[in-house]
A and B are shown apart, each in its own frame.
Chain A
Amino acid sequence: MIPPFRKPRVRVMQPTIYTNMERVVFQPATYRGMQRGINQLVNAIRPTLGPRPRVVAIDHVDYHDKTPQLLDDGGTIARLIIELPDRDADVGAMFLRDVLWRLQQQVGDGTATAAVLFQAVFQRGVHYISAGGNARRLQVFLEKGLQTILEQLNKMTIHLSGRSELAHIAETVCYDPPLADMLGEIFDIVGEFGRVEIRPGRSRELEREYVEGMYWERGVVSRGMLDGDDQLRIDLEESAILISDLEIKHPQQLYPPLALVIRHNIRSLLMVIGDISDSAIGFLLSNKHPEKLRVVAVKTPGWDKEQKAWALEDLAVLTGGRPFVQAAGDSFERIRREDLGFARRAWADRYNFGIIGGKGNARQLRQHIAIIRTAFERTDNPNTRNLLRERIGKLLGGSATLWVGGMTRREINERVERAKRAAAALRGALREGVLPGGGVALWSCRPTLEAMARAAVDPDERAAYHILADAVAAPIRAIIANAGFDASETLAAVKQHGPGYGFDVVRERVVNMTEAGIFDPAIVTKSVAYAAVTSAAQALTIDVMVHHAQPEQAPLPDLSPPKKL
């Protein structure tokens, strides 16, 4: 809704300037170009919104496979659109693509809603600014209105638990009831930080396995350390744990810890070490009396120094041992019994090693996890958050693996992707609660925004709230339209029922969304609102585009078969 007419400021129409090296684009060509790109991208993603999505076919990207890729996930569709031929439009499309992709990485879902919301805010904003509004002031008031939306969403948030409620949430993301049910069970058990691995299955079925204790992706340094004829795994009971990142170059370096465990009548030892030479491995394998002492060596988990330091710290807290750190100049020469960690059980195979029942101090472990949780809450970096979440999941002592089956390899891969997105949404739902789904939560903010617009005196402020009040209805309108209904008629019917009601497009009737169990993860809806409104407000402040001249492309080599002479 546009505020009452006021005299527009005179805008000097500036020509597009071309130079040899670059092209500079001014208004109104800037907005027009960006709108073209944004509309193209949003129109490609919009059909995927809602529980009755339509599919987008992407032309083959694999040279060997000519089959088009069929997608119903906005984030992936946006990622696969890598360039538009119209360079002005390309700026708008790539701006939005970046927003959607970052959102997908952060919360796993909500990209189609964000795209529709972004488009609504941007288009109405362009109309207002073209009529004389101030883009910078509009940005300020859009962000102020966003705070109101987030507050309203917080008030509507409810916390849920239990397998069936979680399965409901999963289904809103993956639209696959058996998969959703399985994910509901898994997350009911492992919780928001639990370690869940989702892997392609080998059959048509869904299968899950729960593993007790914690494990790291580092196997034994030699298969000779494994048990049995098949040499698949070794289990140690009442095991001592040597925690270090030291490099063992000579067998002599191992004498002090081995002498220590023999002296204390310890029957099994798991050595975590930075690296080990062949001669040292040979020395460990030369043990003639495994019944008296079993020694298993694995390498320190982690791909960089920071991850290795985290692994050593976690192992030390879990088992009550002291880490020997190369950077601190530690060596095993003066090792004492108190330096060793202990566990009820430890195991290792070629790829992983694990600990069950670490004998560290439980109070310290709980405090250690609380510290990592705080770090997790404070960081915005998605990679760091993932690493910290994995770390907490390990320390909580247990993991689940879900094998996703299907009829074809393609179906399995698509199902795995959907399962991963649903898992991310479930983590968010467990952490931050849920909101009435189907676009109802955002739409419910509309009366408050309209009241704010009525109370506002400043025209830019009034316009911002009107823009937001219109924009928050865009997702629910798109969902209803995608299901084949008339959005205006349906929304009129929903309005008659009052707050909390929405349109269940699967059952094709107006329902109370909470009672019907139709929810969206609150973190997704809030992240969508934040990402769409802040980035659209920022896009509205773009006044000039500068295109760098593209280097002349070298001709592609001719790959056609040679002509016969």
Chain B
Amino acid sequence: MRDETPITEIVHALAASPDFARDGICFAARSSGLYRSSDASQTWQLAYDSLRPEKPLPTSAVVLSPYFAADRTVFAGVPGAVLRSEDGGHTWHTAALSSPPPFVSVLVVSPNYLEDGCVFAGTIEDGVFRSADRGQHWAAWNFGLLDLNILALAVSPDYARDETLFVGTDSGIFRSTTGGRAWREVDRGPAGLRSTDFAPVLSLAISPCYATDGTLFAGSESMGLYRSRDRGHTWTRLGENLLSGPINSILLDPQYPKHPRLLVLVGDNLLLSDDDGETWEEWHSGLQIDSAMTCVAAPLGLDDSAPLLIGTASGEVLIVNQKLLKEQP
């Protein structure tokens, strides 16, 4: 299954509705703007029509509320601002960040968004911005964040109780246990137990059972994939020989750790592990894409029959299904 989309620029981020199986809504953040699909990536429309931008509005990040089915809230990161839509991406409100305009690299919404209204924006050069009023106002909170180049941001599924976030930066990982108001280095342990020895961290993934298992994964630019089982205090490198390229994306099975399945985007390859990162195989050797993959999303989990959304450097968004690919000759 392959859909040639009408847009031709790099795909920075993908986000799908939590109710994707029913509504088929997904978004693609691209250099020319934010695109929306209501038919599971078959067709795409520019979501900024109501803004009537004079020139393309580059969009570098997109995220949906965990309660999207009810509140229809979408956030999109554009230069110097975060756009907010409360009608599923049809109309937008703008909230400026600060001057000089930051480049928003990643957006994350609190799992407890319904109650706390917290949204976080990671930026290049300006650290983390935090909004506690559903994206209306933003403030930079960078106490202890020694590297303001944010490449990845992950929030604890138990955020309502532990207020924990992790950021991957140009020089490693930082943790906040104060709801993003203060940050501490996690790489201060003895060598060998550190995460990436100050290497850039491009991707993070937190276990859905983080409250009990304290597990998170970090993908670096050049030092491979790491796993911590103690909330980031000590780290173990995984797939040392195989995972040597930049790890741009890490996806965990929604049933993790019961189903310890991981999918990582390493350079131009999708690799799958069914044993919590101990052994790896190609996601599907028959998958051939013309340009480099930039991001990946699994709206219905990592089962063989579940679709995978793949964004590419040429602006395509592919929807692929491993089961169907396997059935093809």
A residues whose Cβ falls under 8 Å from a Cβ of B:
161-163, 188-191, 194, 210, 212, 237-238, 344-345, 357, 359, 362-363, 365-366, 369-370, 395-398
Q: Which residues of B contact A237 (CB under 8 A)?
A: 99-100
Q: Would you call A363 and B198 a contact (CB within 8 A)?
A: yes
Q: Which residues of A contact B143 (CB under 8 A)?
A: 189-191, 194, 210, 396-398
CA distance A344 to B187 in the complex (A): 26
Among the interface residues B170, B177, B181, which one has the most CB atoms of the partner chain A within 10 A? B181
Other-chain contact of A189, B127, B182, B185, B188 (Cβ < 8 Å): B182
Q: Which residues of A contact B182 (CB under 8 A)?
A: 188-191
Other-chain contact of B144, A191, A345, A359 (Cβ < 8 Å): A191
Show 8 A/B contacts (Cβ-Cβ < 8 Å), sorted by A: A189-B182, A212-B142, A344-B125, A357-B126, A362-B146, A365-B146, A366-B146, A396-B144
Q: Which residues of A contact B221 (CB under 8 A)?
A: none
Q: Would you call A161 and B142 a contact (CB within 8 A)?
A: no
Mark B126-151 against chain A: 1 for CB-CB distance below 8 A, else 0.
11000000000000101111111100
Q: Does B169 contact A (CB under 8 A)?
A: yes
Q: Which residue of B lies closest to A163 (CB)?
A: B178
Q: Which residues of B contact A161 (CB under 8 A)?
A: 177
Q: Would you call A191 and B184 a contact (CB within 8 A)?
A: yes
Q: Would you call B100 and A362 a contact (CB within 8 A)?
A: no
Among the interface residues B142, B145, B169, B185, which one has the most CB atoms of the partner chain A within 10 A? B142
B residues whose Cβ falls under 8 Å from a Cβ of A:
99-100, 125-127, 140, 142-149, 169-172, 177-178, 181-182, 184-185, 187-188, 198
Using A189-B182, A366-B185 as known contacts, say yes or no to A398 and B146 having CB atoms under 8 A apart. Answer: no
CA distance A398 to B142 in the complex (A): 7
Other-chain contact of B198, A162, A366, A395, A397 (Cβ < 8 Å): A366
Q: Would you call B100 and A397 a contact (CB within 8 A)?
A: no
Q: Which residues of B contact A397 (CB under 8 A)?
A: 142-146
Q: Would you call B170 and A362 a contact (CB within 8 A)?
A: yes
CA distance A344 to B172 in the complex (A): 21
CB distance from B110 to the nearest CB of A (A): 18
Q: Would you call A362 and B147 a contact (CB within 8 A)?
A: yes
Q: Would you call B149 and A398 a contact (CB within 8 A)?
A: no
Other-chain contact of A363, B126, B144, B171 (Cβ < 8 Å): B171
Q: Would you call A362 and B140 a contact (CB within 8 A)?
A: no
Q: Which residues of A contact B125 (CB under 8 A)?
A: 344, 357, 359
CA distance A452 to B170 in the complex (A): 54
Using A188-B182, A189-B178, A190-B182 as known contacts, say yes or no to A344 and B100 having CB atoms under 8 A apart. Answer: yes
CA distance A334 to B157 in the complex (A): 55
CA distance A359 to B185 in the complex (A): 19
Q: Which residues of B contact A365 (CB under 8 A)?
A: 146-147
Q: Which residues of B contact A366 (CB under 8 A)?
A: 146-147, 171-172, 185, 187, 198
Q: Which residues of A contact B187 (CB under 8 A)?
A: 366
CB distance from A368 to the nearest CB of B (A): 10
Q: Which residues of B contact A398 (CB under 8 A)?
A: 142-144
Using A191-B182, A238-B100, A363-B171 as known contacts, say yes or no to A344 and B126 having CB atoms under 8 A apart. Answer: yes
Q: Which residues of B contact A188 (CB under 8 A)?
A: 178, 182
Q: Which residues of A contact B144 (CB under 8 A)?
A: 190-191, 194, 396-398
Q: Which residues of A contact B198 (CB under 8 A)?
A: 363, 366
Q: Which residues of B contact A369 (CB under 8 A)?
A: 146
CB distance from A161 to the nearest CB of B (A): 7
CB distance from A151 to the nearest CB of B (A): 23
Q: Which residue of A lies closest to B140 (CB)?
A: A212
Using A357-B125, A397-B142, A398-B142 as known contacts, say yes or no to A362 and B181 having CB atoms under 8 A apart. Answer: no
Closest 3 CB pairs of A and B: A362-B147, A398-B143, A362-B171
Q: Which residues of A contact B127 (CB under 8 A)?
A: 357
CA distance A370 to B145 in the complex (A): 14
CA distance A363 to B223 in the complex (A): 15
Among the interface residues B140, B143, B171, B198, which one has the most CB atoms of the partner chain A within 10 A? B143
CA distance A359 to B182 in the complex (A): 20
Q: Which residues of A contact B170 (CB under 8 A)?
A: 362
CA distance A161 to B175 in the complex (A): 14
Q: Which residues of B contact A189 (CB under 8 A)?
A: 143, 178, 181-182
CB distance from A319 to the nearest CB of B (A): 13
Q: Which residue of B lies closest to A187 (CB)?
A: B182
CA distance A220 to B152 in the complex (A): 38
CB distance from A223 to the nearest CB of B (A): 24
Q: Which residue of B lies closest to A237 (CB)?
A: B100
Among the interface residues A162, A191, A362, which one has the most CB atoms of the partner chain B within 10 A? A362
Known pairs A161-B177, A237-B99, A366-B187; list 7 more (Cβ under 8 Å): A163-B178, A189-B143, A190-B143, A194-B143, A344-B126, A357-B127, A366-B172
Q: Which residues of A contact B145 (CB under 8 A)?
A: 397
Q: Which residues of B contact A370 (CB under 8 A)?
A: 188
Q: Which residue of A lies closest to B101 (CB)?
A: A237
Q: Which residues of A contact B146 (CB under 8 A)?
A: 362, 365-366, 369, 395-397
CA distance A163 to B185 in the complex (A): 19
Q: Which residues of B contact A396 (CB under 8 A)?
A: 143-144, 146
Other-chain contact of B169, A163, A359, A362 (Cβ < 8 Å): A362
Q: Which residues of A contact B99 (CB under 8 A)?
A: 237
Q: Which residues of A contact B172 (CB under 8 A)?
A: 366
CA distance A161 to B164 in the complex (A): 13
Q: Which residue of B lies closest to A368 (CB)?
A: B146
CA distance A7 to B111 in the complex (A): 77
CB distance from A512 to the nearest CB of B (A): 24
CB distance from B135 to the nearest CB of A (A): 20
Q: Which residues of A contact B177 (CB under 8 A)?
A: 161-162
Q: Which residues of B contact A395 (CB under 8 A)?
A: 146
Using A161-B177, A188-B178 as known contacts, say yes or no to A362 and B142 having CB atoms under 8 A apart. Answer: no
CA distance A188 to B100 in the complex (A): 29
CA distance A359 to B170 in the complex (A): 12
CA distance A238 to B140 in the complex (A): 17
CA distance A212 to B126 in the complex (A): 11
Q: Which residue of B lies closest to A194 (CB)?
A: B143
CB distance from B162 to the nearest CB of A (A): 10
Q: Which residues of A contact B149 (CB under 8 A)?
A: 362
CB distance from A208 to the nearest CB of B (A): 13
CA distance A48 to B145 in the complex (A): 41
